[in-house]
Structure 1
Amino acid sequence: MADDLPIGWVWIQLEDITMNPKNDIVDGPFGSNLKATEYLDSGIPIIRLQNIDRNQFIDKNIKFISSEKADSLKRHSFINGDIVITKLGDPLGKACLVPNNIKEGIIVADIVRVRPDERFVSKPYLLHAINSKVVINQLQAETKGTTRARVNLSHIRQIKIPLPPLNEQRRIVEKLDRIMERLRRARHELSHIPKLIARYKQAVLAAAFRGDLTADWHNDQQDMRYGEPWIIPASWDWKYISDIAEVVSNLVNPSEVMDLPHIAPNHIESGKPQLLPFKTVREDAVVSPKHRFFPGQLIYSKIRPYLRKAVIIDFEGVCSADMYPINARCNTKYLLYWLISDDFNVLAMEHQGRTVLPKINKAGLYKLPIPIPPIEEQKEIVRRVEERFEKIDKIEQEYQKAVKLCDRLEQATLAKAFRGELVPQDPNDEPASVLLERIRAERQAQSQGKAAKSQRKPKAT
């Protein structure tokens, strides 16, 4: 952290800009003092880690406690306009303002509430500073080498922040707000891209399983097979999953395969036939029997089929009992794409007769239909699907780059602001050092007043 600051600026600790740090910067109660079993659907709101993002309050899944419980935790209270900071998690130190629509409530453990004196510091300026690398780097340094990122209350109180004159703080905030609004709009526009990509891929799969993707393989529209669930080329046929695939049950005791990879539903990306990072049976401390799988098999998650989790495996390992190792008697990739398609999901829901599918059993899976073209056309369909997916995946990569660019631009702008380079300095502004001295003087006067009042208090007889 550089020591050089523009003229009129000073480095301060967070506690320096409050009148009473012990009351104005507090954290939540110990977990045993506020348990999840005490949460209610109405009452006094509580703020949890999931409600806080950088410069944004997430007004979802708000929980409540009784007014009696809130009274017992009054020290950990907040009001609208307070700054709340996370002191646990990755990323660490996310901060936002409590919105105006939440008048008061209680913070939970691992959250810090800050109530700065606005006569000396602009609250929006302070919030931008806390969410910048100026503070993020300090918090990361405090947690370096730990397995679970967490900082304590004293670290939060001692965060160092560059403080400019009050008028300059306001000019910085005005400029930052304009820039951040443009970045917010850019992120909003970018946020539509993943949904569009997912829709495009499902449109490709829909065309694939109706024969439209390989229309040049068929004579004309009259060369079609009419029937349910939809019309397919005459050279195709409707089959049941049981006709073209076999679910292989091969349960093994985990003690026999401790060093093999262990795959669970959460190790497969939803809607994409891709594996996420996984561990061995030993590392996951697996105790219950699991299905053993082998290279070339397809693994399909039977839990919440609407998540469309399936992947082809090229190594040996074991998978959760909530997954099916499958041997395909058609092109394996063709079956894979069918299982992650919206068409299959719709048919599965219709077969089950309800809109939510918590699980699909083996018998139910076997009874589901699949359109089957000749084997050579299956291969061609897979080739054309992957050709189109490869092109759209490049767009997704560009989207990821654009998102990261927005993040870098935000931090670069904040860094410029806190070096004093974002707005011009005004020599007529009152220096921040004078502000700091005024805070200290008021603190001292307040402390002396309390001491004098205590001395005048008559003793009990």
Structure 2
Amino acid sequence: MNTIYSEFQEQFHVSSVRSFPEEWDKKTLLDAVGMKKDLIVAGPFGSNLKVSDYMDEGIPIIRLQNIDYGKFIDKEIKYISHEKARELAYHSFRAGDLVLAKLGDPIGKTCIVPDYFKDGIVVADVVRVRVADGLVDKKFIMYSLNSVATKNQLINGAIGSTRPRVNLDQIRDIQILVPPLNEQRKIAAILSSVDAAIEQTDAIIAQTERMKTGLMQELFAKKFDIAKLGDCSFKPEYGYTTSAIFQPVGPKFIRITDLKDDGVDWASVPHCTCDEYVLKKYLLKPGDIIFARIGATTGKNYLIKENINCIFASYLIRIRCKDMLLPDFLYQFLKTSAYWNQINANKSGRLKEGINIPLLNGILIPLPSIQEQKKISLILSSIDERLDGEKKYRERLKKLKLGLMQDLLNGRVRVKVDGNV
């Protein structure tokens, strides 16, 4: 991340300062965007706009699910009639307005309404912020509203713990630092360039995942022998029951909650204490595959690839392959719809929608020759490595953006502005 940060420092001529910039102002959001209350408006009360008013065409409405940090999510767009929109005209938005979530977790996330939405209505838990022309840079305001400083202000004033909420006056009173307009634009340009890099990386990841899905369907559609998983693996084992410890004492202790969609974050896996017999019996080795056996994550799995001093918890099942089945090949098959269809069919109504060892043993798997297994697993593993690299790069960019926001939006780091931003 330091290398990327240095590149941005050189590209945008960023230089550090120690003191708060004298030429910056501290303002409320309302003062910053134009000092008129009708520039910052919340959606109508629920009694004025109901779900029953929603339509499949007409005038668009913006809901909480359409707002992300700096990004408009144009999925599941709902509409209302022209008559209803005229009735709620005070709560309207137009292209280029900012929309902010005043309910939920995360609270305060903000984006700009895209140009293809010329106008519409915001719902009750969305706030529309309109920036007076030429007063401030709307992208700068968007990044300020998405900053950690703003989120902390909103959290401190919010009510409710499960779904925190703030009122319209609290939104209008958000405190932000406002540099001169040309510096705002330069800051927004820097942060926008990082966003563009993140979006490009997202597109590469999505394209690669689509390619892999198609390739998996092609590779596993060949006519192979079919076998039961239990015939190709040693006796599966349930994990060990004990309490997790969050100090580095004893071996790692991987639990069902540690299996994420993007793998396992080993740094966050807790530890446990156990004797030598338990450690020897439950120690995970390269080639082991662990399965979640209960709850919403039933069937989720992970292949152990390295020597890690770690044992597995009781809501996990461990599988070790016999010589006829390569762990890498099995792991790739476990990502297919053919596997998940069997899991979903077997878990229904059982063990609180879970699976057990007999059900796992009965999973049908393709069983080509070892040479064919190697070929398939190498092809798919190479794509996984590419995806992993892109995802790690995306995380570095996100950390870079967070660091830049913290430094640029509070004046700790200044940008040189030449008047031609």
- Please classify the TM superposition score into its range, dividing by the shorter chain length: 0.5 to 0.7
TM-score after normalising by structure 1? 0.56
For the 8 Å contact 1:304–1:359, the answer to whether it is kept is: no
Q: Is the 8 A contact 1:28 1:109 kept in 2?
A: yes
Distance 2:115 2:388 in 1: 41
Number of the residue aligned with 1:229: 223
TM-score, normalising length from structure 2? 0.60
1:108 to 1:276, Cα distance in 2 relative to 1, 3 A: farther
Alignment equivalent of 1:83, drawn from 90, 98, 106: 98
Query: Contact between 2:67 and 2:99, CA under 8 Å: does it hold in 1?
Result: yes
Task: State the SS of the aligned residue for 1:46.
Answer: strand
Q: CA deviation at 1:49?
A: 1.8
Pairs within 5 Å for 1:3-402: 5-7=21-23, 9-16=24-31, 17-18=33-34, 20-21=36-37, 23-31=38-46, 33-118=48-133, 120-143=135-158, 146-164=161-179, 168-169=180-181, 171-191=182-202, 229=223, 239-241=227-229, 243-244=231-232, 268-270=259-261, 272=263, 298-299=290-291, 309-311=300-302, 315=312, 317=314, 330=322, 334=326, 338-341=330-333, 345=336, 359-361=344-346, 366-371=363-368, 397=392, 400-402=395-397
Q: How many Å apart are 1:414 and its aligned residue?
A: 3.1
Tell me the residue number matched to 2:399. 404
Segment of structure 1 superposing worse, 333-342 or 24-33 = 333-342
Structure 1 counterpart SS, 2:120: strand
Greater mean alpha carbon deviation, residues 362-371 or residues 53-62: 362-371
CA distance in 2, matches of 1:298, 1:329: 12
Please say if 1:413 is aligned against 2:408: yes
Counterpart for residue 352 of structure 2: none
CA apart distance, 1:128: 3.9
- Which 5+ residue runs of structure 2 have no aligned equivalent? 1-17, 245-252, 270-283, 305-310, 347-358
Q: Deviations over 1:165-204 (max 9, x none)?
A: xxx31x124423442343234324544675699799999x
Tell me, which stretches of 5 or more residues in structure 1 are unaligned?
Answer: 211-227, 231-236, 251-256, 279-294, 320-324, 426-461
Residue type matched to 1:229 in 2? K
Aligned partners of 1:199 and 1:77: how far apart in 2? Answer: 38
Change (3 A) 1:34 1:334: farther
Q: Deviations over 1:111-136 (max 9, x none)?
A: 11122433644444433433345534
> For residues 142 and 93 of structure 2, what CA distance do their matches in structure 1 show?
16
Distance 1:123 1:117 in 2: 9
RMSD: 5.8
CA contact (8 A) 1:29 1:108 kept: yes
8 Å CA contact retained: 1:301, 1:310: no
Code of the aligned partner of 2:291? I
| Structure 1 counterpart of 2:223, one-letter code | P
Shift of 1:155: 0.7
Q: Using a 3 Å threshold, how does the CA distance of structure 1 residues 14 and 41 change in structure 2: closer, same or farther?
A: same
Name which one, 1 or 2, has greater alpha-carbon Rg. Answer: 1
- Count of residues in Structure 1 that have an aligned counterpart in Structure 2: 357
